[in-house]
Amino acid sequence: MSDPYVHPDVSTIIRLALDEDLRGGADVTCQALVPAAARLSGLVRAKDRGVVCGLPLFAPVFAACGGGVELSAMVADGTVVSPGDVVLRFHGSARTLLTGERTALNLAQRLSGTATMTRALVDAVAGTRTRILDTRKTTPGLRVLQKHAVLCGGGANHRHGLHDAVLIKENHIALMPPGPLGSGPAEAVRQARAAVGPAVSIEVEIEHLADLAPVIAAGADIVLLDNMAPDLLRTAVLERDRLGSRTLLEASGGITLASVRSVADSGVDRISTGSMTHSVIALDLSMRCDPA
Q: How far apart are the first and last CA of the chain?
A: 38
Residue 19 CB neighbour total at 10 angstroms: 12
Please indicate whether residue 47 is annotated as part of the active site.
no
Please indicate whether residue 147 is annotated as part of the active site.
no
* Dmax (CA) of the chain: 76
Radius of gyration for the alpha carbons in the chain, expressed in angstroms and rounded: 23
Q: Which of 102, 193, 234, 261 is catalytic?
A: 102
How many Å apart are CA 112 and CA 283, to the nearest integer?
Answer: 6
Q: Which amino acid is at 44?
A: V
How many Å apart are CA 148 and CA 167, to the nearest integer?
Answer: 21
Report the Cα 202 to chain-centroid distance in Å.
21
Q: Taking Cα atoms as reference points, which of 161, 89, 72, 80 lies closest to residue 115? A: 80
Please indicate whether residue 169 is annotated as part of the active site.
yes
Q: Which amino acid is at 115?
A: A
Is residue 243 within 8 A of residue 213, CB to CB? The reply is yes
Is residue 41 within 8 A of residue 75, CB to CB? The reply is no
Q: Which of 137, 159, 193, 234 is catalytic?
A: 137
Residues facing residue 91 across a β-bridge? 41, 70
How many Å apart are CA 276 and CA 260, to the nearest integer?
Answer: 13
Please indicate whether residue 261 is annotated as part of the active site.
no
Q: Which of 207, 226, 265, 284 is catalytic?
A: 226
Q: Which of 21, 129, 169, 231 is catalytic?
A: 169
Q: Which of 134, 187, 205, 211 is catalytic?
A: 205
Active site positions, annotated? 102, 137, 169, 205, 226
